[in-house]
Amino acid sequence: MTPLLSNHLGGKWQDGSGPGTPLFDPVRGNELVRVDARGLDLTAGFAFARTQGGAALRALTYRERGAMLAAAVKVLQANRDAYYEIATANSGTVKNDSAVDIDGGIFTLGTYAKLGETLGDRRFLLDGDAARLGKEPLFQSQHVLVPTRGVALFINAFNFPAWGLWEKSAPALLSGVPVIVKPATATAWLTQRMVKDVVDAGIFPAGALSVVCGSPAGLLDALQPFDVVSFTGSADTASRIRSHDAVAQRSVRVNIEADSVNSALLLPGEAIDSPAFDLLVREVVREMTVKSGQKCTAIRRIFVPESLYDATAQAVAARLAKTTVGDPRNETVRMGSLVSRAQLVSVREGLTLLKSYADVLYDGANTSMIDIDPAIACCMGPTLLGTRQSETPQLHQTEVFGPVATLLPYRDAKQALNLVRRGEGSLVASLYGSDVSALATAATELADSHGRVHVISPDVAQLHTGHGNVMPQSLHGGPGRAGGGEELGGSRALNFYHRRSAVQASTAVLATLQ
């Protein structure tokens, strides 16, 4: 019988009362495990996390909580091989793609463990300097940041079951806020296993770290005013969360990461034999194929000068033609599958829509597949689209969450920046060029509509971290269509889990806060 994964809620492992939802190998099609959250007492579980987990975490200092994160890192590192096996079986990813998720998550957790050490033996943070409130300096105002006395509910996406867990949990736990994670059902196995390993190691207080798998009814109903919720996924689901009574009436703080039609822009003045041109082509191909394009930060639109449209199409197509697709267990395969049959159908439908507005410059349908049954495996080849009709609205509004990107030419720098902004807010845009002044100008011009601007010039060709790689030191999020949320950014990530208050008192009282 297929194993049923347990939920950890209320400080104990619990099984759902239903038959469970099966999780499949997206390449071989066999059932792997089942998840179920039916019948769980969410209200009691959330209350336990607030009263028990939250109180225990707040009693610790940032340094002590950081030490717990460091201990969790050691547990996760000791079990990496098992995580890779789960990722291959349940997400269909090749080893390098699994590393982006698994090792990226562990690295992020370690980064916040080190931050805890630097914050020291404090239980709250100062926000700026004290401000005089009158003519005499005796009475002043000092803003402080204190951990919110609620839970952090994370509703995560299917594409990063490891990194998505830890990039949210690390700053929450370091802040002293208990975590309840609801992973996407299709790939919940890896999230559940990581939580289980850490919980079983006894690192955190009871109620500090919980996981709910499957689709429990009334998940948001259990939220109270000082809780926070962070969601990664579709704009439609994000809209329903924002309109829920917990948010609309109880003022639960919400962070959203939704659709994002990210861009790569080659600045004017570059030739086809320039280093900047080569850097663009390499990065576009990498972003189209890593995790089969299932990254919220992946490049969806490629902007180049009109004179380089054909050359760019040929260069990208030539590299895509070398991409081997199939069963990730075969060492010659460089791109695995989409995570599920539903995702494959969704990508195909989106691709069909885009094809009605753009030409096919490289057809992924012609890709030969390795060690798979096409009738079962959720594999598809990378597809490059393109059109000289760069102003077509649908090309700037539609995100196909798979190995698909669209090439678009521009006349001049002004039009290029306007076209990038047609995405109405994105997580990231990357710029390629050799003119440092032009790169800096373009970066600041696009900063208002992007959470991150990744600037790649020849001098950092071997040093840059990648268009789509989210580093814990930098902001992850974006305005407008991207959801308006903010995560990571080093210590900035802690702001979401703290409440700001102004303490107005004598200088003698305020001195004790230092």
What is the per-residue pLDDT across 25-66, written as a single tens digit (0 to 9) for each? Answer: 999 999 999 999 999 999 999 999 999 999 999 999 999 999
Beta pairing partners, 13: 8
Nearest alpha carbon to residue 338 among 386, 299, 376: 376
Indicate if 257 belongs to the active site.
yes
3-state SS, residue 98: helix
Mean pLDDT of 103-111: 98
Hey, CA dihedral for 205, 211, 217, 218, is it positive or negative?
positive
Distance CA 203, CA 111 (A): 18
Q: Name the pTM for this structure.
A: 0.95
Strands, E assignment, 354-413: 359-362, 369-370, 383-386, 404-410
pLDDT digits (tens, 9 = 90+) for 156-210: 999 999 999 999 999 999 999 999 999 999 999 999 999 999 999 999 999 999 9
CA atoms within 13 A on the CB side of 252: 26
User: Of the residues 213, 270, 283, 296, which is catalytic?
Assistant: 296
Same fold, 4-258+487-511 and 262-472: no
If you average pLDDT over every residue of the chain, what do you get?
A: 96
3-state DSSP of 192-230: HHHHHHHHHCCCCCCCCEEECCCCCCCCHHHCCCCCEEE
Residue-level pLDDT at 101: 97
Nearest alpha carbon to residue 232 among 292, 149, 165, 142: 165
Residue-level pLDDT at 419: 98
326: left (phi over 0), alpha (psi -120 to 50) or beta: left
Q: What are phi and psi of 54, to 5 degrees?
A: -65, -45
Helix H segments across 79-139?
Answer: 80-91, 95-119
Q: Do the Cβ atoms of 249 and 479 come closer than 8 Å?
A: no
Nearest alpha carbon to residue 3 among 188, 257, 261: 188
Place of tokens 């590192």: 77
Q: What tokens does 291 get?
A: 């995790």
Assigned CATH topology for domain 262-472: Aldehyde Dehydrogenase; Chain A, domain 2 (3.40.309)
Residue-level pLDDT at 216: 84
Mean pLDDT of 453-461: 97
Domain boundaries along the sequence of the chain:
4-258+487-511, 262-472
Q: CB within 8 A of 307, min separation 6: which ones? A: none
Q: What tokens does 336 get?
A: 């695995």
Distance CA 382, CA 390 (A): 21
pLDDT digits (tens, 9 = 90+) for 173-185: 999 999 999 999 9
The CATH homologous superfamily of the domain defined by 4-258+487-511:
Aldehyde Dehydrogenase; Chain A, domain 1 (3.40.605.10)
pLDDT digits (tens, 9 = 90+) for 124-135: 999 999 999 988
Q: Do the Cβ atoms of 205 and 53 come closer than 8 Å?
A: yes
Q: Do the Cβ atoms of 483 and 112 come closer than 8 Å?
A: no
Strands 383-386 and 359-362: antiparallel
Q: What are phi and psi of 289, to 5 degrees?
A: -110, -25
User: Of the residues 167, 213, 257, 399, which is catalytic?
Assistant: 257
